[in-house]
């Protein structure tokens, strides 16, 4: 037994302790460096996500403010359409006689005013859509919820462009099925419906925002 212990001790003494210690030190340094790199990557990723979300939030706020005058203009258009009820030249054989009478009488002027107001919202719309594309590479959890909400918000800009397109088309064949379909689409676009879409999807976006910020701050 004593001989066995002596052999073990001799074996241990013969080890290259200097090399072993250097190896352990090097391994420890590598582990510390890996932990630091992982932490840096996590912080860098969180900063990128936070920056994009901040820019997106500012752009959405800017869009909602800039689109409001155009929606107000739509209210005036709707009132103008309804006022055509007393137009003696009304063609009641058409599906949308009031809208047709308004377009023929005041459509061009209203379209020009609407387009001037829509120009104020063009930049926020482009910025929101660009940021949504950039966000796809950041691996944000439940990002589709953000995309859906933002797309529905800026979609109201596209709907107002539909109104502009119809208002500026004074010399259409009002009995053509495609023209009737386009008029149907225009008449479905109301200020109340636009604001409802914006408000509902703004709430969805804010819920996503709260969840994302919570996750990102916990991960740092």
pLDDT at position 27 is 43
pLDDT at position 47 is 83
pLDDT at position 36 is 38
67 Cβ neighbours under 8 A, 6+ residues apart? 118, 120, 121, 156, 157, 160, 198
pLDDT at position 39 is 41
Q: Which residues of the chain are modeled with pLDDT < 50?
A: 5, 8-9, 17, 19-20, 23, 26-44, 220
Predicted confidence (pLDDT) per residue in 182-214, tens digit: 999 999 999 999 999 999 999 999 999 888 877
pLDDT at position 191 is 96
Using the 8-state DSSP alphabet, how is residue 174 labeled? T
Are 198 and 156 contacting, i.e. CB atoms less than 8 angstroms apart?
Answer: yes
pLDDT at position 137 is 84
pLDDT at position 140 is 87
pLDDT at position 88 is 86
């Amino acid at each position: 037994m004593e001989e066995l212990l002596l052999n073990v001790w001799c074996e241990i003494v013969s080890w290259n302790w200097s090399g072993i210690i250097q190896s352990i030190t090097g391994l420890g340094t590598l582990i510390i460096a890996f932990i630091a790199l992982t932490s840096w990557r996590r912080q860098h990723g969180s900063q990128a996500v936070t920056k994009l979300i901040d820019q997106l939030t500012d752009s959405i706020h800017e869009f909602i403010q800039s689109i409001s005058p155009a929606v107000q203009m739509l209210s005036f258009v709707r009132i103008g359409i309804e006022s055509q009820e007393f137009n003696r030249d009304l063609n009641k054989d058409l599906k949308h006689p009031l809208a047709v009478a308004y377009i023929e009488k005041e459509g061009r002027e209203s379209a020009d005013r609407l387009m001037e107001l829509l120009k104020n919202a063009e930049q926020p719309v482009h910025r929101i859509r660009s940021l949504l594309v950039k966000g796809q590479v950041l691996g944000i959890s439940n990002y589709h919820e953000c995309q859906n909400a933002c797309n529905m918000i800026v979609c109201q800009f596209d709907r107002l462009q539909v109104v502009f397109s119809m208002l500026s088309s004074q010399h259409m064949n009002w009995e053509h099925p495609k023209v009737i379909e386009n008029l149907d689409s225009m008449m479905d676009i109301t200020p109340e419906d636009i604001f409802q879409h914006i408000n509902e999807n703004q709430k969805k976006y804010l819920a996503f925002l709260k969840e994302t910020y919570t996750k990102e701050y916990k991960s740092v």
